[in-house]
Amino acid sequence: MEMESFSSLTVTERDQILVEQQVFNIFKTFYNIPPSSQSFMLELQRENHVEYLTNGLKQLGPSFCVLDANRPWICYWILHSIALMDEFVDPELEDNTIDFLSRCQDPNGGYGGGPGQMPHLATTMLQSIHLEKLYSFIRQMKYASGGFRMHDAGEIDVRACYTAISVASLLNILDDELVQNVGNYILSCQTYEGGISGEPGSEAHGGYTFCGLATMILINEVKRLDLSSLIDWVVFRQGVEGGFQGRTNKLVDGCYSFWQGGIFALLKRLNSTRGEKSIPLGDGEDSGPDSSETTASSDATGKGLIEDLSQGGSHIEKGDQHDTSSRVNSKRHAKVKPLFNSLALQQYILLCSQDLNGGLRDKPGKSRDHYHTCYCLSGLSVCQRSWLEDDDSPPLPCAVLGPYSNLLEPIHPLYNVVLDRYREAHEFFTGS
Amino acid sequence: MHGRPRKASKPEDEAASTTKAQKLRALQTQFFSFHHSKIYTKEAVELSAKLLEINPESYTAWNYRKLAVEHYLSQPDCNPETVKSVLDDELRVVESALRQNFKSYGAWHHRKWVLSKGHSSVDLELRLLDKFQKADSRNFHAWNYRRFVAELMNRSEKDELKYTEDMIYTNFSNYSAWHNRSVLLSSLLEKKAEGFLSKENLLPEEYEFIHQAIFTDPDDQSGWFYHLWLLDQTVTTDHPLLVSTWPAHGSDVFLVGDRCQNGSFSPFTTVLSDSGSFPIVLYFNQPVKGVSSSTVIIECGFNKNEELLWEPLSVSNSQTAQVWVAHLKCPTSELDSSVEISVGYSKEIVSPRGSQYSHPSTFSFKVHVQPVERDSSRVSVAENILWREENFKVYRAQSEESIPIPSFDQLCIKNGHESTASNWRTEALAKEVECFRELLSLMDCKIGKLTLARLLMAYDVMSFPFANKLVHSEEVLELYNDLMKLDPTHHRYYKDEHSLVLLRKMTSSEESLLQHCFQYKDSVSSAIGNPICLRLNNLSLSRIRAFERLLWVQMLDLSHNELESIEGLEAMQLLYGLSLGNNKLRSLTALEPLRKLKSLRVLDISYNRIGDHSIDTTRYLCSSPLSHSVGSELNDVALINYWEAFYMFKDLNLNQLDIVGNTIADEKFKSVLVKIMPLLKRLDGELLD
């Protein structure tokens, strides 16, 4: 191997130092001001964010041309962000949006744009969704290797697997055929670092790791992943700035607050003892022998987790009816330490990612946009509840950085949809 | 848009971009009308190009172009020249789209599609890629496309390796390049390409290369991650190996029907066999599948016609495990019999990565039976192990006794190449050790210390079978102590590593193990004999491992440590008594490994933290409770809230349990336990009816 010498400071390192300086200056300012001003700096500027988002829904500036093919995504980013802040959109505007989205469904069943926007609006779009056609569309996108194509003749990757599987599971149309080989494909994308890459051979990446892990949970094959190395990888993606990087030795970026932070939310649920649903209730409502052993079949697919989240501990209520209080289950407000530094991440989101005039961003010096607004806020919601097992109870004040009014609505971490909206959709599509 | 800076707009810019938006709108309307009427005239196709130039994300337009290409290629007057010009047009459109946005999924994919047609020159692609990769060296679309092109043009992986080198010299922080290097090297090694026949020649060169980066700037993380990969490549043998067994090779096993009978035999190899069978344990260096009666051949005078059922010892119930167990029926006669077990002469034992077990090995041992009728009710009532200091007497070994720990070379490895093949590994590690000592003499560096600790441990473990001593364990322990102080945020990780090294050290030789062996003797317990207890208490252990050295242990005291998990304990199939008192166990499910211990009768989990928290974050590494299958026996409504207890204890055959000092252990819970375990004789020291 020939010897050349390395220059002492690489571009990457210079960029990293610049970002650190910017971030640390913000933190320094913050720590040197009186507590009352500190509290203001940490406040989530709800009104400004809502205004910025609502304007986006009405009309986007002309500079958004490049996003034209992603219009449903923009709708999702905006509406989800608004829902996280528990705000509502003016009904006329909402109708217009729904009307627009329903026009995106192609006669062949798929939706133009990503399918991820659907869960959010599912309840109001019911009449317009043609489930059978949607199923056959997803089925056609399936590829022999186990992967999915993003669209007809489109690219195959982990993102596509996630969108296909998550939509199918949400609409309750997931079956063996869709699931077949998906697990193998995702496994082939887990790298030696522990994270998951977009396609085999590529580098581990936060967005894909989230998509891959969520997919594996949905198809009930999560144990096939090397979870300990995955955890190892993701914990080391949180940097000195408090925020997350997307890949090894890249710069911090606010949007990974959700992609990486959401991984922790998933991992936490995975190990919650309350995920257990296969216990016969002994009062005639026996859940039957089906759920515990089936892997990836149409009706048992990951339901333990999903129902756990959607029903908020129904078997505990059942138990209560029989007047059997339990020490194991009654401690529902237990404080459990998350595997990442949740307060540091909140500090990064609020102080560095927040544009005080509304909207959130990648990092200081970048401009706000709807994508980053959506995923920074989603990440913030995950953080605020990272100490809790139960999404139905409010988090402790010490878990929420800044004023308690910063508290956002809880999300369903598998779909990144506000939990209440998820439940409405879930009820509709399962017919319960 | 993601990750790309936008400038604040001025009024005149805004006016300009409004015009642009209007133009786009008009273009789009026209485009969709062409698309829906399947019009592929030159004019129509050019219009789609204009649209894509403004908006590369318009995947409908990319698909329209694919349809158009297919349309042209299917024309009767289509000749090679038109094919080429049609496809070249596509490449041009993609290129200008990428200039607009080189993170466009649609554009990169369209290019792949065009090239897959096989009519375009691939050579230009690398030049184009060089340009893009220079502009954004971590663009994963470009790296993916590069791998695609290299494969398509059959470019040698060595040339690609050279490319990663160039990229690394430009910016050694570029982890994408290091990553691709690891992918390429793995592939070359797997193919045994020329010059890449073995790691032996390759890895030292890679170490040289990485040192340049690390020594230039130890603060950059990319090099360290690659170094960790190299270390992993150095220490992992591709093929699974058998590292330990019970019974050990050459040992004498005494099977007794009653513990008080054992006076005359070595307490280390005397096993109670009241169930009529005894376990055989195979311990591999990595998880394997395919252990069965066809891959493990057993020859013995008794038990002729019965096929052994091999069970993987893994908590996740998968068919892959590092440790496997089978139960062999005791010989009925009192004659001494010998047993010979051959592992891996057929090829079905494989690692999850697909590497075959390729070092067939044979071990043998003798079985002596001492069947005794015993009055089981009398004995069971009297049994009561008290984990008190005064009940443990220092054990003085009889001169001829030895602890049956198999050492690696006892396993009659038929293939003798392994020891010489490992030389280069040891040498490579020794060189690394030297190198990092030098680095640390120049500067104080956390990751350098951690790496040195890992290297020293790897070195010791690798040379262990020959040296039978862990030369550097003191130094490694010191390094972890240092790191705990230097880097408090990762304190628990270092603490865990420290525990594991300590355990390795204590179990590394018979001499050091004997220091922890005690004879249990209390005033009334003649019924249980005077078993040997391995006491690893009061060592502030936060994790445990090294089970391959402890397969013989029947009584284990792990009390007064800081354990939160007992992962791996399932390997200790002979365990009869276990104390986990005064640890930090936080949930019943953390005890899951115990469910695999069929001989366990006495368990102390007093003074832990079970019930303090409703979930246990330390259990991330264990199996998901989603997989728990609780049987339908659970009819009692009162038990539903205690399903965890039910799940944990229903299959254990405990006589004695201590659970006092846990939040969970109130009277109600204890009454549930009694219900779950009808065989339980003592709970928290109290005799049950």
Q: Are A155 and B108 inside 8 Å of each other by CB? A: yes
The pair of three-digit structure tokens given for residue B452, joined into one six-digit string: 């040195």
- Regarding beta strands B242-246 and A417-418, do their DSSP bridges make them parallel or antiparallel, or are they unpaired? unpaired
Q: Which residues of B touch A66 (CB under 8 A)?
A: 1, 54-57, 100-101
In the three-class reduction of DSSP (H, G, I as helix; E, B as strand; rest coil), residue A158 is classed as helix
In the three-class reduction of DSSP (H, G, I as helix; E, B as strand; rest coil), residue B312 is classed as strand
Q: Are A339 and B617 inside 8 Å of each other by CB? A: yes
Q: Which residues of B touch A367 (CB under 8 A)?
A: 5-6, 8
AA letter at A240 = V
DSSP secondary structure string for all residues of A211-236: HHHHHHHHTT-GGGS-HHHHHHHHHT
Q: Are B216 and A61 inside 8 Å of each other by CB? A: no
Query: Does the structure show a pLDDT above 90 at A30?
Result: yes
Q: What is the pLDDT of residues B200-232, one digit of tens each?
A: 888 999 999 999 889 888 888 899 999 999 999
Chain A residue with Cα closest to B19: A62
In the three-class reduction of DSSP (H, G, I as helix; E, B as strand; rest coil), residue A339 is classed as coil
Q: Does B497 touch chain A (CB under 8 A)?
A: no
Contact B273, B329 (CB under 8 A): no
Q: What is the pLDDT of residues B360-412, one digit of tens each?
A: 888 888 888 876 555 444 444 456 788 888 888 888 766 566 666 665 455 54
Position A6 scores a pLDDT of 59
DSSP secondary structure string for all residues of B54-77: H-TT-HHHHHHHHHHHHHHHTSTT
Query: Does the structure show a pLDDT above 70 at A191?
Result: yes
Query: Does the structure show a pLDDT above 70 at B595?
Result: yes
- Taking the C-alpha atoms of residue A244 and residue A235, their distance in angstroms, rounded to an integer, is 9
AA letter at B547 = F
Position A126 scores a pLDDT of 38
Q: What is the pLDDT of residues B80-107, one digit of tens each?
A: 888 888 999 999 999 999 988 888 898 9
Angle at A364 between CA A360 and CA A368, to 5 degrees: 30
From A99's Cα to the closest Cα of chain B, the distance in A is: 19
Q: What is the pLDDT of residues A55-108, one digit of tens each?
A: 888 765 555 545 566 777 888 889 899 999 998 888 888 777 777 777 766 655
pLDDT interval class at A303 (50, 70, 90) = very low
Q: What is the pLDDT of residues B286-305, one digit of tens each?
A: 889 999 988 998 888 776 66
- Taking the C-alpha atoms of residue B314 and residue B567, their distance in angstroms, rounded to an integer, is 10
B316 closest CB neighbour out of A223, A253, A318? A223
Query: Does the structure show a pLDDT above 70 at A393?
Result: yes
Chain B residue with Cα closest to A208: B140
Q: Which residues of B touch A327 (CB under 8 A)?
A: 611, 663-664, 666, 669
In the three-class reduction of DSSP (H, G, I as helix; E, B as strand; rest coil), residue A305 is classed as helix
Half-sphere exposure of B32 (CA within 13 A, CB side): 7
Supply the residues of A annotated as catalytic. Answer: 205, 247, 250, 253, 255-256, 362, 369, 372
Selected residue of A2, A66, A235 to mutate for chain B interface (largest B Cβ count, 10 A): A66
Which residues does B607 contact at the CB level (< 8 Å), separation at least 6?
B581, B582, B583, B660, B661, B662
Angle at B562 between CA B558 and CA B564, to 5 degrees: 95
Chain A residue with Cα closest to B615: A272
- Taking the C-alpha atoms of residue B556 and residue B548, their distance in angstroms, rounded to an integer, is 15
CB-based contacts of B236-240 (< 8 A; 24+ apart in sequence): B236/B286, B237/B285, B238/B353, B238/B355, B239/B351, B239/B355, B239/B356, B239/B357, B239/B358, B239/B359, B240/B284, B240/B285, B240/B286, B240/B288, B240/B349, B240/B350, B240/B351, B240/B355, B240/B356, B240/B357
- Taking the C-alpha atoms of residue B295 and residue B291, their distance in angstroms, rounded to an integer, is 6
Contact B268, B246 (CB under 8 A): no
Position B682 scores a pLDDT of 93
Q: Does A301 touch chain B (CB under 8 A)?
A: no
From A366's Cα to the closest Cα of chain B, the distance in A is: 6
Query: Does the structure show a pLDDT above 80 at B632?
Result: no
If DSSP states are collapsed to H, E and C, what string results for B242-288?
Answer: EEEEECCCCCEEEEECCHHHHHHCCCCCEEECCCCEEEEEEEEEEEE
Q: Which residues of A touch B641 (CB under 8 A)?
A: 319, 324-326, 328-329
- Taking the C-alpha atoms of residue B521 and residue B385, their distance in angstroms, rounded to an integer, is 9
B626 closest CB neighbour out of A191, A255, A275? A275
Q: Are B621 and A1 inside 8 Å of each other by CB? A: no
Q: Does A319 touch chain B (CB under 8 A)?
A: yes
Half-sphere exposure of B106 (CA within 13 A, CB side): 27
Position A10 scores a pLDDT of 84
- Taking the C-alpha atoms of residue B417 and residue B419, their distance in angstroms, rounded to an integer, is 6
Burial label, B678 (beta-carbon count in 10 A; 0-12, 13-18, 19+): exposed
The pair of three-digit structure tokens given for residue B171, joined into one six-digit string: 């910016």
Query: Does the structure show a pLDDT above 50 at A314?
Result: no
- Taking the C-alpha atoms of residue A130 and residue A128, their distance in angstroms, rounded to an integer, is 6
Query: Does the structure show a pLDDT above 80 at B313?
Result: yes
Chain B residue with Cα closest to A228: B621
pTM of the model: 0.81
Place of tokens 């009062």: A283
Burial label, B9 (beta-carbon count in 10 A; 0-12, 13-18, 19+): middle
- Taking the C-alpha atoms of residue A370 and residue A367, their distance in angstroms, rounded to an integer, is 10
Position B138 scores a pLDDT of 93
Q: Are A6 and B212 inside 8 Å of each other by CB? A: yes
Position B317 scores a pLDDT of 65
- Is omega for the bond preceding B247 within 30 degrees of 0, making it cis? yes
Q: Are A203 and B100 inside 8 Å of each other by CB? A: no
Candidates B426, B503, B418; CA nearest to B459 is B426
Position A140 scores a pLDDT of 78
Q: Are B55 and A68 inside 8 Å of each other by CB? A: yes
Contact A413, A88 (CB under 8 A): no
Query: Does the structure show a pLDDT above 70 at A4?
Result: no
- Taking the C-alpha atoms of residue B545 and residue A165, their distance in angstroms, rounded to an integer, is 39
Q: Which residues of B touch A151 (CB under 8 A)?
A: 59, 63
Q: How many CB atoms lie within 10 A of CB A86?
A: 12
The pair of three-digit structure tokens given for residue B306, joined into one six-digit string: 């019965």
- Sheet hosting strand B296-300, strand order edge to edge: B270-272, B252-256, B361-370, B337-343, B296-300
The pair of three-digit structure tokens given for residue A413, joined into one six-digit string: 């971490």
pLDDT interval class at B122 (50, 70, 90) = confident
- Taking the C-alpha atoms of residue B174 and residue A348, their distance in angstroms, rounded to an integer, is 25
- Taking the C-alpha atoms of residue B585 and residue B596, their distance in angstroms, rounded to an integer, is 18
Contact A157, B108 (CB under 8 A): no
Place of tokens 């079956």: A175
Residues 201 through 260 of chain A touching chain B, CB cutoff 8 Å: 201-203, 205, 220, 222-223, 227-228, 231, 247-250, 253, 255
Position A153 scores a pLDDT of 62
Place of tokens 């360290």: B224
Contact B288, B240 (CB under 8 A): yes
In the three-class reduction of DSSP (H, G, I as helix; E, B as strand; rest coil), residue A277 is classed as coil
Distances from the Cα of A316 to the Cα of A323, A324, B282, angstroms: 10, 9, 42
Beta strands in A60-100 (DSSP E): none
Selected residue of B98, B190, B624, B647 to mutate for chain A interface (largest A Cβ count, 10 A): B624
The pair of three-digit structure tokens given for residue A155, joined into one six-digit string: 């690219």
Residues 159 through 188 of chain A touching chain B, CB cutoff 8 Å: none
Q: How many CB atoms lie within 10 A of CB B255?
A: 21
Contact A189, A200 (CB under 8 A): yes
Q: Which residues of B touch A247 (CB under 8 A)?
A: 138, 140, 175-176
Q: Are A315 and B105 inside 8 Å of each other by CB? A: no
Query: Does the structure show a pLDDT above 80 at A289?
Result: no
Q: Are A69 and B55 inside 8 Å of each other by CB? A: yes
Chain A residue with Cα closest to B105: A155
Candidates B627, B659, B625; CA nearest to B644 is B625
- Taking the C-alpha atoms of residue A328 and residue B587, their distance in angstroms, rounded to an integer, is 9
**Whole-number mean pLDDT of chain B?**
83
Residues 93 through 132 of chain B touching chain A, CB cutoff 8 Å: 100-101, 105-106, 108-109, 112-113
Position B5 scores a pLDDT of 46
φ/ψ region of B286 (left if φ > 0, alpha if ψ in -120 to 50, else beta) reads beta
**Whole-number mean pLDDT of chain A?**
76
Position B590 scores a pLDDT of 86
Residues 630 through 669 of chain B touching chain A, CB cutoff 8 Å: 630, 632, 634-638, 640-645, 663-664, 666, 669
Q: Are A369 and B1 inside 8 Å of each other by CB? A: yes
Q: Which residues of A touch B6 (CB under 8 A)?
A: 63, 367, 369
Q: What is the pLDDT of residues B606-626, one digit of tens each?
A: 999 998 865 444 333 333 333
Q: What share of chain B is helix, strand, coil (3-state, %, to 5)?
A: 50, 15, 40
Q: Average pLDDT of B326-331?
A: 87
Q: Are B616 and A5 inside 8 Å of each other by CB? A: no
Selected residue of A67, A73, A108, A155 to mutate for chain B interface (largest B Cβ count, 10 A): A155
AA letter at A424 = E
Query: Does the structure show a pLDDT above 70 at B264?
Result: no
Percent of chain B with pLDDT over 70: 84
Pick the more confident residue, B348 or A125: B348
Residues 344 through 363 of chain A touching chain B, CB cutoff 8 Å: 362
Q: Does B589 touch chain A (CB under 8 A)?
A: yes
Query: Does the structure show a pLDDT above 90 at B24?
Result: no
B24 closest CB neighbour out of A65, A193, A389? A65
Percent of chain A with pLDDT over 70: 70
Chain A residue with Cα closest to B222: A249
Position A301 scores a pLDDT of 35
Q: Which residues of A touch B635 (CB under 8 A)?
A: 280, 282
B175 closest CB neighbour out of A3, A247, A278? A247
Contact A179, A165 (CB under 8 A): yes
Instruction: Count residue pairs from A and B with Cβ separation < 8 A.
Output: 263
Chain B residue with Cα closest to A4: B169
- Regarding beta strands B252-256 and B242-246, do their DSSP bridges make them parallel or antiparallel, or are they unpaired? unpaired
Q: Which residues of A touch B66 (CB under 8 A)?
A: 153
Q: What is the pLDDT of residues B544-583, one digit of tens each?
A: 988 988 999 999 999 999 998 898 999 999 999 999 999 9
Position A138 scores a pLDDT of 76
b (16+ CB within 10 A) / e for B345-362: eeeebbbeeebbbebbbb
Q: Does A321 touch chain B (CB under 8 A)?
A: no
Query: Does the structure show a pLDDT above 60 at B7?
Result: no
DSSP secondary structure string for all residues of B107-140: HHHHHHHHHHTS-S-SHHHHHHHHHHHHH-TT-H
Pick the more confident residue, B402 or B147: B147
Q: What is the pLDDT of residues A340-377, one digit of tens each?
A: 999 999 999 999 999 999 999 999 999 999 999 999 99
Q: Are B642 and A328 inside 8 Å of each other by CB? A: yes
Q: Average pLDDT of A182-187?
A: 93
